[in-house]
Amino acid sequence: MPEVWYAIVALLLTAYVVLDGFDLGAGVLHLFVARREAERREVLAAIGPFWDGNEVWLLVSGASLLVAFPRALSAGVSGFYLAIFLVVWCLILRGISIEFRSHVTDRLWRGSWDCVFAAASALLPVFLGVALGNLLRGVPLSPDGWFTLTLFTDFSAHEPVGILDWYTALVGLFALVVLAGHGGMFLAWKTAGDVRARSRAAGRRLLLGVTLLWPVVTLATLRVNPQFFDALLSRPVAWLLGAVALVGLAITFTSLSRGEDLAAFCGSCAFVAGLSGATAACAFPVLLRATGGDALSLTAGNAGGDPAGLRTALVWFSIGMPLAVLYFVTVLRIHRGKAVPARDGEGY
């Protein structure tokens, strides 16, 4: 049962990264690809039906961790207390900037909220990437399963470690570039005219950066976590998901050259999903890796909840997950086609 719930949590987190990732990326790029008021509203119209629903996947992931691995969640929340508050503030600022910008027609008002939206959208991938880097590198777990981290120490990725070092900063940068490129592919699909052209150009450049950074980040991960390499070689599911990521990236570039925006976005989704899934497959069964040795790590085996409770939760998950997928498919179908910006005073 712990293995099943590890896969479920990985699936939910992957869904969050893929779905909220494209509207985060759109937020990062919107100041560059949308230069006039009508173009900014076009970008907001593109993500408007999706962004708040996409963020729910993060809440569902947290709830699933609470049910399945309460020890890991409690240790992570207390250890990353400041980082979690920063993530929450960024989520809040994204939401209110989208909602508030059109309440007043003043140019300075709207421009200020646009900058807040872009900054919060850029910081979220960085924060989440840094958090992932900490999980892969390891945290100083005590024998009773708790840890605290300073913001940084000597940037060496060796004990004593902090939240920021060369490795976690690299993963944060990689996450920003990946999701910004993902957002560019989404905007190229959902917008038209100059916004589409600029989004395609920005997405192509960012994905070229991803192509260069991906092997660098992989090698850096193998350096700070040698066990990651052993798992990568010995687990066929990791090979398969890594191949999905590679094929997805190739499809994105090929489709861009052919002007097939939907196929390019689907390729980007496959890349992000494959990369996230392969990372989870290589990390299994570890949830919180301890820098002091494997015996101190929190895993799917020693951090799990009550088996009877997990079985009951699995029944409800089997009911709720298809409904969530149906909702998303319905929203996607209703809002198919190019985004049409609302008139001033109506919507975003």
pLDDT class of 274 with cuts at 50, 70, 90: very high
Structure-model confidence comparison of residues 232 and 139, the more confident one? 139
Instruction: Give me the DSSP letters along 20-40.
Output: HHHHHHHHHHHHHH--SHHHH
pLDDT at site 167: 94
pLDDT at 290 over 90: no
Please tell me the distance from the alpha carbon of residue 42 to that of residue 185, in angstroms, as a whole number. Answer: 15
pLDDT class of 348 with cuts at 50, 70, 90: low
Quick: pLDDT tens for 14-73: 999 999 999 999 999 999 998 888 888 899 999 988 888 888 898 899 888 888 898 888
| pLDDT > 70 fraction of the chain, expressed in percent and rounded | 98
pLDDT at 98 over 80: yes
- Nearest CA to 211 out of 239, 241, 252 is that of 252
Rounded mean pLDDT of 193-213?
A: 94
Find all residues with CB under 8 Å of 37, minimum gap 6, and list them. Answer: 110
Rounded mean pLDDT of 330-343?
A: 81
Across 77-99, b (16+ Cβ under 10 Å) vs e yields: eebbeebbebbeebbebbeebbe
What are residue 202's phi and psi, to 5 degrees? -65, -45
Quick: pLDDT tens for 129-167: 999 999 998 888 888 878 888 777 777 877 788 888 899
